[in-house]
Structures are given as C-alpha cells and as structure tokens.
Structure 1
Amino acid sequence: MSIAKHKILIVDDEPDILELIEYNLNKEGYQVYTATNGQEAVSEAKRVLPDLIILDIMMPKMDGIEACRILRSMPEFKNTFMVFLTARSEEYSEIAGFNVGADDYIAKPIKPRSLISRINAILRRNAQAEEVTENKLEIADLVIDRDAFLVFKKGEKIILAKKEFELLYLLASKPGKVFTRDVILKSIWEDSVVVTNRTIDVHIRKLREKLGEMYVTTVKGVGYKFEAK
C-alpha cells in the first residue's frame, strides 16, 4: 500500500497539536482525519477504518487508554497500528498503554520531522506484516516456517525447541509490536500453572543465543518485540 493511500486518525484535545500533526502528515501524502476526545475517536475510527491511530492519553469524555481498549476489542481494529502521543512521561502510563494494545509511544513536545520519520517507520512495519503468509514468515534475513517448525537464517537452518519457535513466531508475526508478558504467557503457554515470567526470560535468552542479539528487543517493564533491522 502506498503512503498516499494510508489513512491516519489523530486524536488530541489541543487544537494546535491537531493542526501541527495534520499539516505535516498531509504534506507527506497521508489521508488525515481528526478527533478531539476518545468518544469521537471510536466513532471516527469505525467510520474511516484508519491504518494508524495516534491517540493522546489525557482527554475529556474518554481518555486515550480507554479508547484504545475499546477499539482493540473490535475485530476490525485487531491489526490497526495504535500510537500514544502524550506529555506524560511516567513509566506506568507507558505500561498501561502497552497493556491495552498500543504499538508505540511518542512523547510531546512534538518535533515534526522526528514524528514523520517515526510514522513512516511504523507503517513500513505494517507493510512487512502484510507480506506474511499464513504459515511462513520471511523477515529480514530470517525465514520462519511454521509447518516444518524450522528457522533459516541467511539460508542456514537453526534448530529451536517447540516453545522457542512458538515465541519467535508470535513476536515476528507483528514486527515492532510490543507483546506484554501476559499476552506472551496466554498465547504460548495458555493456562499452565507452572509458568512464570522467568520462563519467558529464559526462552528469550535461548533465542538470542541461537539467532543473535539483533532480533528480539526488551521493552523495560512491559515485554518484548521483534525488530527486523
């Protein structure tokens, strides 16, 4: 999908912020829509089905975290990229954002050139995700074959244990998306009562030993993400 066809919804209760972001994204060729609170965001998102939503956290009527939670519960927004834009820098607000399904976090004050670069990078992740076939991922120099439970790095076969493979496949299925520990536990180990956060850490360490350090990134206090560098 070309940049000109990408639709972006900006949600912020500060008119100056909306105008600044809208102006710069329009210059890049994006189709831009706006809303001023969480309630408007949910309605407008259902109307235009954007590819990416930029949400402020602190807003009247409904804050960004609640709006994100509601949108993520709808099937049509399961794979929509959602980015929080906020002046709040406390770690707990970032964790809350990732816990309801945010893909990224951009702090105010806004630097237009930096913001555009970040948005372009996020939408490139989406293009990578769209190249994923049902049972095989080809990302960076990795081929991850779900049917054969095999991973190839630059053509060389890498042998992974079953849970290591499932963890890698989960993270690589959405490059750049932060997966919280709770989501990883539920997705990979389901309701096993013997699994702890330490189990995830051990499997991440084994993946890094076998694949190298460059693919799986730790997001402190939240979880992990796959980066196709």
Structure 2
Amino acid sequence: MFSFTKQPEQTIKLDGRVYHVNLAFNRVITAFGVLNDENLTNVEKINQCFSLFSLDLHTDNLATKGSIVSNLFDYINATPYGNFDDEDTPTPENEPTGNITDYDFEQDAAAIYASFMTYYHIDLYAQLDKMHWDVFKALFDNLGEKTPISRIRQIRNDDLSNYKDDAQQAGLMAEAQMYYQLDKNKQADSFGKGSASIFDSLLGYAD
C-alpha cells in the first residue's frame, strides 16, 4: 500500500536474514494470472509466484515458499480504503459491487497503457520490472475520468435503465457494453485476494 512514511516493500525477512523481492507491477500482474490459471496445481502456482517475486532467496521448502508468497500477496492487496472482513459491509459507492471487477489488467492492457501515456506521460513499457506495484496501483486508481480505461469502466458499469426514454442511446450503450465486455466476470481472486485459501490448504501438508 502506498505510503509517504515508508518505502515500497522491496525486502522480506526470513530466519533473521533480509532478502530482496521484486514487486514490479508487471510481475504482480503476471502473478495474478498464475493464481487464476485453472490448469496449474496449487504447488505450481506457489512455485511460479515465488520465482516471479524472489531475487536472491533460493529454497526448495514448499512451506517456506508458500508463506513468503502469501505474505507478499497480503501486502499487495492492502488498500487505504475498503479493507472489510465482513461480507455484509457495504462497498464504497465508486467500487464495483458483488466482488466483480470492472477491468482486467491483461485484457485491458492497451487501454491502461494509453491511459498512463496520455494522463501521466508515462510509458509503461519503459517501466517494466522498474515501477513498483504500489506506485502503479496509486496511479491507476487515480486516472482521470476521460482516460481510455476509465471510460471503458464507465461503459461496463452503466445502467441501461438510465436510457429508457432514449431507445437509440440505449442501443448504442448496449453495443458498447457488448464490445467492451470482459472475457469472463472476474472475481475478487483476480487480485490475489483469494490466494490465502491456496496457501492455507497447501501448508497443511507441506510441513
């Protein structure tokens, strides 16, 4: 989580030693994809995520890997707002409801790239393996309403009942929603928030 009082996480402590990790935005996004890959086993997911994040820590201990990756995802998923444990707690008005996200970092990559370029004049390709996830997420969450990805998210969330008196506009919006629809409804796990169950179930027999 972005903070002015401490640097973005770049290390992790284990057995009294400090190891370096790489939480660049592209590695985190890749890790999200790993967690959601139904063709991978839990063991494969942990190994791949560990390889993505770890720079100088080498271990074959699966429990150690799982613990490290789980802790890193806890850090990645921390937010300044809306960290609710109670499923009945209302979400903020500007957040998608029902644990369904209205964007996907892979499918919307071009729109996100264009948005960063036009709004911040940042070339994300030049930032691969450089820009920390905390910085990327802070910038992403605060993109202007007229940027490509913000407009796409607005279209996806638009209520067609708002156009009940304008059939033509309703039709145009319906076409836009169909064009920009996600390949599948992305659950909260798209951001690694369901990773704990993977690691918990595995660590139970990995010792």
Please state which band the TM-score falls in when normalised by the shorter chain.
under 0.3
Structure (1 or 2) with the greater helix fraction: 2
Q: TM-score, normalised by structure 1?
A: 0.25
> Relative contact order: is structure 1 or structure 2 higher (C-alpha 8 Å, sep ≥ 6)?
2
Structure (1 or 2) with the greater strand fraction: 1
Q: TM-score, normalised by structure 2?
A: 0.26
